[in-house]
Amino acid sequence: MERSVIDRRILLGAGAGLVTLGVLGLRGARAETFVNILTGGTSGAYYPIGVALAGAIDKTVAGAKSSVQATKASVENLNLLQKGQGEIGFTLADSASQAFAGNEEAGFKAKLDKLRLIAAIYSNYVQIVASAESGVKTLADLKGKRISVGAPKSGTELNARAILKAAGLTYEDFAKVEYLAFAESVDLMKNRQIDVTLQSAGLGVGSIKDLAASIAIVVVPVPADIVAKVGDPAYQAAEIPAGTYTGQDAAVPTASIQNLLVSHDGVSEDLAYGMTSALYGNLEMLAAAHAAAKGIKLDANAAKGPLPLHPGALKFFKEKGFA
C-alpha cells in the first residue's frame, strides 16, 4: 500500500476521533454565567444577605457562578453598576434616586442612566447609638460630641446628613467627625475615642449588637416630626422595636429607608429574570443569613422604586401578578 494512502487513512481516523471528542466536549460543557454581587462592609446586613443571595442564584440560574464583593455600599455600588462592574447590587432608595438624577454632591458625577431596578426589598433604619457614659439621650445632646457618620458619601453618610440637617445640626456642631464603616466605628466607641455612631442598616445589625454586648448604650430617638422635615418621601417614620439590642428596653422612633436590589441595562433579560426568581424563591435562606431579610416580601411594592424596572424583573413580577 502506498505511503500516501496510509497517511490519508491515519489522518481520517484521527479526524474522526477529534470530531467525536469535540461532540462529547460540547455535550458535557455548560457555559458559565458570572454574577458579581455588590454588597457593603462585612459587619453590615448587605454582606451576609449577599452571600445567601449568591447561593440562591447559583442554585436557581443554570450555569451561574456568583461572587460576593464587599464595598462601601450604596454610592460605590451604583457607580460600579453604571460601569458594568457587577451584575446586581444593594443600595438605599434615596441614593438610587440621587444617582439617577446625577447629584454630584451625593457622589454621582453624572446621571447614572444605565441603572435598572430588580426589586425593592427590606427597610434600613437610621440607628443613632451613643455610649451611656456620653450622656447623650436626644438629638440636641449630640452637639459637641464625637461622632462617626459612616464611610464618606456612603448611603449611611447621606442619611446622616439628611437627618442631622432636619434636626438643625451640621458637622461643624460636633467636636469630631469620623467617616468610618460600621465595624471601625464600633471599635472607636469601645475604646472611648468617639461618643456616637450613626448606622443605617437592617434591624439587629451585627456591629451594633457587638457594641451593645461590650458597653452600655443609648439608642437615640429620631422623632417623626424630624423625619418629616427631611422632605424626601424615601424617609418614613418607623421604630426600632424594644429588645433589638442589649440594654434597649423600649421601642425607639427613627426613620426608615427602603433598600433596593439594582442591576443595569447590560445584564440580559434572562439573567435578570433568573436573579429575581432566585431572590423570591429562597427567602428562607436569606432570612437565615440575617434577620433584616425577613422584611423581604413578594408584593406590588417590591416592583416599585426610583429607577426603571429591568425587563427581566418586570417579566417576573408580571407572571406573579404584581406588575
Confirm whether 91 is domain-assigned: yes
Of the candidates 63, 68, 1, 72, the one whose C-alpha atom is nearest the C-alpha of residue 33 is 63
Identify the domain containing residue 271 by its residue range.
33-122+258-319
Res. 17 pLDDT band, cuts 50 70 90: very low
89 and 174 housed in the same domain: no
274 and 182 housed in the same domain: no
Q: Tell me what pLDDT residue 281 has.
A: 98
Confirm whether 15 is domain-assigned: no
Residue type, 128: I
Confirm whether 24 is domain-assigned: no
Res. 160 pLDDT band, cuts 50 70 90: very high
Confirm whether 109 is domain-assigned: yes
CA separation, residue 96 to residues 34, 102, 129, 234 (Å): 24, 10, 26, 10
pTM (two decimals):
0.84
Q: Tell me what pLDDT residue 30 has.
A: 54
166 and 235 housed in the same domain: yes
49 and 74 housed in the same domain: yes
Q: Is the pLDDT of residue 23 over 60?
A: no
Q: Tens of pLDDT along 109-141?
A: 999 999 999 999 999 999 999 999 999 999 999
47 and 162 housed in the same domain: no
Q: Tens of pLDDT along 55-108?
A: 999 999 999 999 999 999 999 999 999 999 999 999 999 999 999 999 998 999
Confirm whether 245 is domain-assigned: yes
The grid coordinates of residue 248 equal 434597649
191 and 107 housed in the same domain: no
CATH number for the domain spanning 194: value is 3.40.190.10
Confirm whether 18 is domain-assigned: no
40 and 109 housed in the same domain: yes
Q: Tell me what pLDDT residue 248 has.
A: 97
Q: Tens of pLDDT along 240-289?
A: 999 999 999 999 999 999 999 999 999 999 999 999 999 999 999 999 99
Confirm whether 87 is domain-assigned: yes
Mean pLDDT of 197-207: 93
Of the candidates 185, 209, 181, 211, the one whose C-alpha atom is nearest the C-alpha of residue 197 is 185
Domain boundary among the residues 257, 276, 294 is at: 257
Residues found in the chain: 323
Residue type, 186: V
Structural domains in the chain (count): 2
250 and 262 housed in the same domain: no
